[in-house]
Amino acid sequence: MNTHHKIAVIGLGYVGLPLAVEFAKQYAVIGFDINPKRINELRSGVDKTLEVEPDILNTVLSTENTASNGLFITDLASEMADCNIYIVTVPTPTDALNKPIFTPLITSSETVGKLLKPGDIVIYESTVYPGVTEDICVPILEVQSGLEFNTDFYAGYSPERINPGDKTHTVTKILKVTSGSTPEIAEVVDQLYKTIITAGTHKAPSIKVAEAAKVIENSQRDINIAFVNELSKIFRILDIDTKAVLEVAGTKWNFINFTPGLVGGHCIGVDPYYLAQKAIESGYNPEIILAGRKMNDSMGSYVASETVKMMIKKGTRIKDSKVLVLGITFKENCPDIRNSRVIDIINEFNTYDVAVDVYDPWASSEEVKEEYGFDLLNCNTKLQDTYDGIVLAVSHKGFLDLDITALKSDTCVVFDVKSLYAKHLTDARL
Give the angle 44-335-194 at the CA atoms, nearest 5°. Answer: 70
Distance CA 181, CA 185 (A): 6
Please name the amino acid found at residue 281: E
Query: Please, what's the b/e burial string for 288-315 (b: 16 or more CB within 10 A of its CB; e: otherwise)?
Result: ebbebbebbbbbbbbbbebbbebbeeee
Q: Report whether 413 contacts 310 (CB < 8 A).
A: yes
Q: Does the annotation count 267 as an active-site position?
A: yes
User: What are the beta bridge partners of residue 372?
Assistant: none
Dihedral sign for Cα atoms in the order 181, 184, 185, 186: positive
Secondary structure letter of residue 149 according to DSSP: B
**CA torsion angle for 204, 208, 210, 214 (degrees, to 10)?**
-160
Q: Report whether 319 contacts 353 (CB < 8 A).
A: yes
Please name the amino acid found at residue 102: F
Q: Report whether 66 contacts 101 (CB < 8 A).
A: no
Instruction: Please identify which of the residues 267, 334, 379, 412 carries the catalytic annotation.
Output: 267
Phi, psi of 5 (to 5 degrees): -95, 130
Query: Which element (helix H / strand E) includes 356?
Result: strand 355-359
Name, in order, each residue with C-beta under 8 angstroms of 30's C-beta and a sequence gap of 6 or more. 6, 7, 8, 9, 65, 72, 74, 79, 80, 83
Distance CA 316, CA 341 (A): 26
Distance CA 1, CA 215 (A): 31
Give the angle 209-212-214 at the CA atoms, nearest 5°. Answer: 110
Q: Which residues are catalytic?
A: 267
